[in-house]
Structure 1
Amino acid sequence: MVITVAGNKKEVKDGLTVAQLVIDEKVETPEYVTVTINDEFVESGTFESTVLKDGDTVEFLYFMGGGQ
């Protein structure tokens, strides 16, 4: 199946979970990443059970703090 990850189309295996995609994409600091699928936020506790579908668009987001 084909999904879009961070703006790039990728061929991936059927049944791929968000958790496995985070590993496959070598996401830095995965414990702090927020994931959206088709512009919908995915709860971090459901990464293992959320299965991607053909045509999905996945983005990895990091929220930065700081400043004064």
Structure 2
Amino acid sequence: MELIINHEVKFFESAPVSLAELMQLEAPGKTKGVAVAINSQVVPKTAWASTELRDRDSILIITATQGG
């Protein structure tokens, strides 16, 4: 499966089935301060486990950072 994550093409032999599985691979342990959009549509955290991924989905992962 090919996914575009933060404008970078990534290939997965054993593709994650859901957005929740992908987030475990891409941002393990991070759940707070994270926003995700698939194909320009924001996906609430409550829907990550039920959101299926498709080949060539464009996924934007944004994490909040502290600083000044």
TM range (shorter): 0.7 to 0.9
Question: SS where residue 9 of structure 2 aligns?
Answer: strand
Unaligned runs of 5+ in 1: none
Q: Report the counterpart of residue 20 of structure 1 in structure 2.
A: 21
Task: Report the identity percentage.
Answer: 25
The residue that corresponds to 1:51 in the other structure is 52
CA RMSD of aligned residues (A): 2.3
The answer for the alignment partner of 1:6 in structure 2 is 6
Aligned residues: 67
Q: Partners of 1:25 and 1:57 in 2: how far apart?
A: 14
Q: Which runs of 5+ in 2 are unaligned?
A: none
Query: When the two structures are superposed, what TM-score results if normalisation uses the length of structure 1?
Result: 0.77
Cα separation, partners in 2 of 1:26 and 1:66, compared to 1, 3 Å: closer
- 1:41, CA displacement in angstroms? 0.3
